[in-house]
Structure 1
Amino acid sequence: MNAIISLLRPQQWLKNGFVLIGLIFSHGWADPYLAFKVAVGFVAFCMASSAVYVLNDYFDRAADAAHPKKRYRPIASGLVGLRQARVLIAILFCGALGLPLAFGQWPVALVVACYLALNIAYTLRLKHKVLVDVFCIAAGFMLRLACGTYAAGIKPSRWMLLCSFMLTLFLGFAKRRAEIVAVPGGVLALEGSTRIVLRHYSAQLLDNLVAITASASLLTYGLYTVDAETAALHGTQHLVLTLPIVTFGVFRYLYLLYRGGSGEEPGRDLLADSQIRMAVLAWVIVVVLLVGT
């Protein structure tokens, strides 16, 4: 059971928090029915993302077995058998699609289906295509955001969409940079690795991409907070007060990336760092206070 839980990667469910953004900005956190609809989308994405992790480990088991760290993953190490993995994938796929359908949430089920289709293509081919791999990761986050907004019945702001897109590109390129730095002997030592695409990147290229996307994330978030449409929707012109919190969070993550050796597992890093946790908590509190008053 511990091996199966490890295979599901529950620590990565933090990424599905993007589904909950729609609930916050729809002012619907006090509406039990609306909160339930968004919760269904969140749980569906947790099952879908775990299904993708199991699927990826299933196809990468041979390469993982030759990797110094990934060889301890449940499938690569033999703790979870291939038949068990296939059954688990089927259960998770059915659950991810069946849960929203059971409650009549067709748009949510469609978004989850698109997410699963994207990640099947990613696992089988797209993860080996330079730049395309990171854009696929960003698309997965955009689908999470779409799921939450569909469930909450709101139309996402164009600036929110742009900010989310740039932020997920930032995290994706930061992850690739951390993976390159962590490779003993450099990128050329990646023969047989599941990250073959890293041979097409360089630390210098990724430094530039990280800087561009980090700057774009802060710029688009700032424009979102001062947009007239945002002020009219949420009844406040003071969301810009959250910009320093977001700026600190991004800068802290950059510090961890370049000085702390983090970045390979964004979900784990965000949970592990106390200052980032405090920044996220502060952002949620300030947003709820501003939007709720």
Structure 2
Amino acid sequence: MLSQALLAFLAFCCVASAVYILNDIMDIEADRAHPVKCNRPLPSGAASLGTAKCLLVGLVASSLVLSLKVSEWCMLFIATYFVINILYSWRLKHVVIIDVSLISCGFMLRILVGTVGLGITPSSWLLLCGLMMTLFLGFAKRRAELLMFETTKGANNSFTRRVLDDYSHEMLEQFIAVTAACTIIAYGLYTVSPQTIAIHGSDNLIYTLPFVVYGIFRYLFLLHRRDKGNDTAKDLIQDRHLLLTIAAWVITTLWVLA
């Protein structure tokens, strides 16, 4: 199982890298006009377009070969991930709601590769929780981008996402509220579901729910009072409250399952 998991991890690393290269190839002209992205290898000329295309093909082929060694399901999920990102980069990233939904689908496919792809049946509630969480973070990011766009309006309009024209603060606030609530509910139902209790032999996972609730509330605070949300990973690393919450959740989970 460990070797299969490692192969699946490597396969997804390859396809994720291929997607980044694909995005850079498709956005090369726009990136050349961007004040920051112009320093990337392709728009800056540090790497040739031909080299990037060869690397892209090699990474996609490697991901498919590695994933097939794991299972057919694993290869199917990885191929689907790549196709979704092609559609996203091609046009769908400019379609309101669909843009965030496709990003969320990408994260869900990661979960499926690590579960179904390895022959593990995932909890339906856990999948729903993952879906709602990624939608929550995606809409939070759009909110931060919209705020930045309005703050710098007139200066950097050519560097912003066209899809932001179709979003509004009111709409995003509703999306964020709904997905945040659904995340908490789905996680809570996961902890008390008969399947979860049977697998872990404990009904005490419900005691980890307060950490999830606080973590989401803390992130909402950062969105509204600290203008965060544009870079989730950076927000997480820089906020000690979130770090402590995650640490407490991990410790409590390990204690419950011990």
TM-score when scaled to structure 2?
A: 0.90
CA distance in 1, matches of 2:242, 2:36: 26
Mark the runs of 5 or more structure 1 residues left unpaired by the alignment.
1-33
Q: Which residue of 2 aligns with 1:82?
A: 49
CA distance in 2, matches of 1:268, 1:152: 31
Higher relative contact order (CA closer than 8 Å, sequence separation 6+)? 1
Equivalent residues in 2 for 1:236-251, closer than 5 Å: 236-251=202-217
One-letter identity of the residue aligned with 2:77: V
1:154 aligns with 2:120: yes
User: How much has 1:140 moved relative to structure 2?
Assistant: 0.8
Q: Which residue of 1 aligns with 2:22?
A: 55
1:232 aligns with 2:198: yes
Q: Secondary structure at the match of 1:155?
A: coil
Q: 1:195 to 1:213 in 2, by over 3 A?
A: same
Equivalent residues in 2 for 1:54-203, closer than 5 Å: 54-101=21-68, 103-183=69-149, 185=151, 192-193=158-159, 195-203=161-169
One-letter identity of the residue aligned with 2:4: K
Q: Which residue of 2 aligns with 1:26?
A: none
User: How much has 1:190 moved relative to structure 2?
Assistant: 6.7
Q: 1:242 to 1:264 in 2, by over 3 A?
A: same
User: How much has 1:215 moved relative to structure 2?
Assistant: 1.1
1:259 corresponds to which of 222, 225, 250: 225
Q: 1:272 to 1:132 in 2, by over 3 A?
A: same
Percent identical residues:
44
User: Residue 8 of structure 2 contacts residue 70 of structure 2 at CA under 8 Å; is this kept in 1?
Assistant: no
Q: Which residue of 2 aligns with 1:10?
A: none
User: Residue 138 of structure 1 contacts residue 172 of structure 1 at CA under 8 Å; is this kept in 2?
Assistant: yes
Instruction: Give me the CA root mean square deviation.
Output: 2.1
User: How much has 1:189 moved relative to structure 2?
Assistant: 6.9
- Number of residues of Structure 1 aligned to a counterpart in Structure 2: 258
Mark the runs of 5 or more structure 2 residues left unpaired by the alignment.
none
CA distance in 1, matches of 2:14, 2:236: 21
Q: 1:194 to 1:64 in 2, by over 3 A?
A: farther
